[in-house]
Chains A and B, each alone.
Chain A
Amino acid sequence: MTRPATLLAGLLLLALPLSLLAGQVWIDPFGPPVRNAVPILMELRAPRAVLALLVGGGLGAAGAAMQGYLRNPLADPGLFGVAPMAALGAVLSFYTGYAVQPFALPVFALAGGALAMGLLALIAGRGAGIALFTLAGMMIASLAGALTSLAISLSPNPFALSEIVTWLMGALADRGWRDVALAAPPTLLGLALLARTGRSLDALTLGEAAARSLGVDPVRLQWLLAAGVGCLVGAGVAVAGIIGFVGLIVPHMVRPFTDGRPSALLLPSALAGALLLLLADCLCRLVPLPGGELRLGIALSLAGAPFFLHLLLRLRREVA
């Protein structure tokens, strides 16, 4: 492991047990025994923490891979349209009322993500260049967004409406081991797929022609990315809703500590994404809000938007 990856792994090991102790009920391992401490830890907080690691790690790695692929520091895993399509799937499960069935919501979301991946793969199979591939992804995203709005505006009753809107904000509250079992396989598969893109992403640093001259197969790379990002983002949306900005911010925080190659960024971004989501979810539990806790998706967007602005200003200064 590289130095940033080792450091981040160490921080994660430190943060994980601490995050389990924090919440509406503080659990002090050295203090007086807390009532229901074991069920709180094992049934409420532990699955939530594991989900934060899975979703955050997946979004961090997906963001790093997307930025490497598009050779653009402003790229985000949402660009391929997988997240909006997965969200559309989830929204349709509310719309149709199937969401009350166990597993229906995440399965609908995964199906939506898979549909976006399939469309992307069709486009990749035709040998499209990077710009065309990305534009196609953005069109998928905007179509999914429009259909989601349509489902909201036509929602059959106020309960469905409120369910949809709340769910779209993204959260890890009230998740259990069932959600972990659902998110873990696609997340691990997605990470394994993206780990195979490192060499190609490094070569792409020199542009498409030079990358091909270095032996990169552009169609294979598009397949790997569509499937890898699709699995990670689809799994994330299925269990946590829309969680923005992680895939955008995390590679930026990590990049200065690496040698700049996209492949050197993948593992540290996964670890940093996991750490960021773990800490953010902890803070969400702790902030007292009337009517429940702060939604994770809102918290990250609140923190992420100013960061993005700061990034734009810095980029502008560098160009000037």
Chain B
Amino acid sequence: MSTLLARNLIVDGRLEGVSLALAPGTVTAIVGPNGAGKSTLLAALAGLVPGAVSLGSDALRALPPRRRAQRIGYLPQSGEVAWNLSVRTLAALGRLPHDAGAADDARAIDAALRQLDLAALAERPVAQLSGGERARALLARVLAGEPDWVLADEPLAALDLSHQQVLLAQLRALAGAGRGVVLVLHDLALAMNHADRVAVLDRGRLVAEGAPAAVLTPALIAQVWGVAARWLGEPGARALALG
């Protein structure tokens, strides 16, 4: 697995010189206020926005799109599914960049559905899913592609507490298996408790990057979000108290 490296990313008006090195085997959370450039940074790391991003020794924009797609899985925030596919057919779209053969495809799809607790819903049309089930099905699509890197924009937003835990455990397991996981998160407590590294963006600039406890200090939260807050509880189970 290779490092994902962004060098001085500039995207007009949205990113103003962001440099970031992401190591495989870790869960990195990108946090920041609305409009800070989180989604743009994630899209750039996925190679969808012009910018100097490299994966190991390869410049991302120079990789053939299919090769890039085999190595980087990207889950946008929109959650769009234009046609009323079954959960299994939806997850199978993650195999599109591969030419691995039907048996390999079926194995990867089954594994992804199992990991996200969707095996029982495999034949259900997406129109009949709850918001949380749909969010899991969309992530199953990414996992079915078995990418080295999983880049997900707000994957937990529509999930209830127990499914947030299921999903975070799965993402942790991916990182434990040596893959890279990058999540855009709004919930600072989730970033604090579950990420290995946190990157804080503010108005297109990277203002801090490092271990969550070292980065997400009350002083930085006050500076970036303009909110007075303090952490309660034990490491690994912290909660943010406002005021």
Contact = CB atoms under 8 A, between A and B. Distances in A.
Interface of A: 71-72, 199, 202-207, 209-210, 212-217, 259-262
Contact of B65 (A205, A209, A212): A212
B89 A261 contact: yes
A199 B96 contact: yes
Contacts, number: 78
Given A215-B65, A259-B89, A207 B80 contact: yes
Contacts of A215: 64-70, 96-97
Contacts of A202: 93, 96
Interface in B47-68: 47-48, 64-68
Q: How many of chain B's residues touch chain A, expressed as a range?
A: 20 to 34
A214 B69 contact: yes
B91 to A, nearest CB: 11
Given A205-B81, A260-B84, A213 B89 contact: no
25 contacts: A72-B82, A202-B96, A203-B93, A205-B81, A206-B81, A207-B80, A207-B82, A210-B75, A210-B76, A212-B48, A213-B73, A213-B74, A213-B76, A214-B93, A214-B94, A214-B145, A215-B67, A215-B68, A215-B69, A215-B70, A259-B89, A260-B83, A260-B84, A260-B89, A261-B83
Given A203-B96, A214-B96, A262-B83, A209 B89 contact: no
A205 B69 contact: no
B158 to A, nearest CB: 16
Contacts of A259: 85-86, 89
Given A212-B48, A213-B74, A215-B96, A206 B141 contact: yes
Contact of B93 (A71, A206, A212): A206
A130 to B, nearest CB: 11
Contact of A260 (B74, B85, B97): B85
A55 to B, nearest CB: 27
A245 to B, nearest CB: 21
Given A214-B94, A214-B97, 5 more contacts: A71-B82, A212-B65, A214-B69, A215-B96, A216-B65
Nearest to A216: B65
B162 interface: no
A217 B139 CA distance: 22
Determine chain B's interface SS by DSSP, over half rule: mixed
B48 A209 contact: yes
B46 interface: yes
A261 B88 CA distance: 12
Interface of B: 43, 46-48, 64-70, 72-76, 78, 80-86, 89-90, 93-94, 96-97, 125, 138, 141, 145
Contact of A209 (B66, B76, B85, B96): B76
Query: What 5 pairs across the A-B complex have the smallest Cβ distances?
Result: A215-B69, A213-B74, A71-B82, A215-B66, A207-B80
Determine chain A's interface SS by DSSP, over half rule: loop
B48 A205 contact: no
B43 A209 contact: yes
Nearest to B95: A214
A206 B153 CA distance: 14
Contacts of B70: 215
Nearest to A218: B65
Contacts of B84: 260
A213 B84 CA distance: 21
A207 B76 contact: yes
Contacts of B145: 214
A166 to B, nearest CB: 39
A81 to B, nearest CB: 23
Contacts of A260: 83-86, 89, 125
B97 A210 contact: no
A69 to B, nearest CB: 10
A209 B78 contact: yes
Contact of A205 (B67, B75, B82): B82
A71 B84 CA distance: 11
Contacts of A210: 74-76, 78, 80
Given A202-B93, A260-B89, A213 B83 contact: no
Given A210-B74, A210-B75, A261 B85 contact: yes
B48 A213 contact: yes
B37 to A, nearest CB: 16
A200 to B, nearest CB: 9
B82 A204 contact: yes
A256 to B, nearest CB: 10
A261 B141 CA distance: 14
A215 B72 CA distance: 10
A72 B80 CA distance: 13
A202 B80 CA distance: 13
Contact of A213 (B69, B80, B82, B138): B69
